[in-house]
Amino acid sequence: MVYESDERETWVEISLDAPSETSALQSVVSTATSVGSGALGLARFATETSIYMVTESTKAITKSILDTVVPVAVNAIVSRIDINEIVKEHVDVNEIVAQADITPILDRVPMAEIADYVIEEIDLPSLVRESTGGVADGLLGTIRFQAIQTDNLVSQIVDRILFRGTKRADAREVSVDHAHI
């Protein structure tokens, strides 16, 4: 039955008692439920996709801004402070050095080149010649003196064996005196 009101509204009265009308109603309700469910699913998908896209876009924009702004800000801050003073006040360099493995550092040091440079700068060959020359001169003087003493001793033995006099003894003393000079 259809009733019309004064304001031109149409009212539909549905009777649940009629079996043919119930089937049609179930079909309409089922279709409406499916359409409504699909619409809600579509709305949910659209909402989730939009939120995901907004989140990812926000992350990308934020990362881009931070990648641009942070280095500039850090450089501006660092240029206004004395890093060396901060390190002196807050860093225990001795502790860092104590924990450091110096073997790789020493492996990079050109020891042979440094040694060659030092030898050139102090003129080591000249120093060796001068010092060994003095030692050699002293040694040579000592050997000469010992040779003279040995010669005098042999001369004394020969003089006694041959019963020679004191003339030789005077010559020996003169030779020994000249050796000390």
The 10s digit of each residue's pLDDT in 71-104 is 998 888 888 888 888 888 999 988 988 898 888 8
> Is 142 within a domain?
yes
> Is 16 within a domain?
no
> Is 95 within a domain?
no
DSSP single-letter state for residue 110 = -
Global confidence as pTM: 0.29
> Is 38 within a domain?
no
How many residues in the chain? 181
Q: Which domain holds residue 143?
A: 111-181
> Is 44 within a domain?
no
pLDDT band at 2 (very low <50, low <70, confident <90, very high): very low
- What is the tally of structural domains in the chain? 1
> Is 70 within a domain?
no
Q: What is the pLDDT of residue 171?
A: 52
pLDDT band at 9 (very low <50, low <70, confident <90, very high): low
Paired tokens of 139: 């040694």
C-alpha 119 chain-centroid distance: 32
> Is 66 within a domain?
no
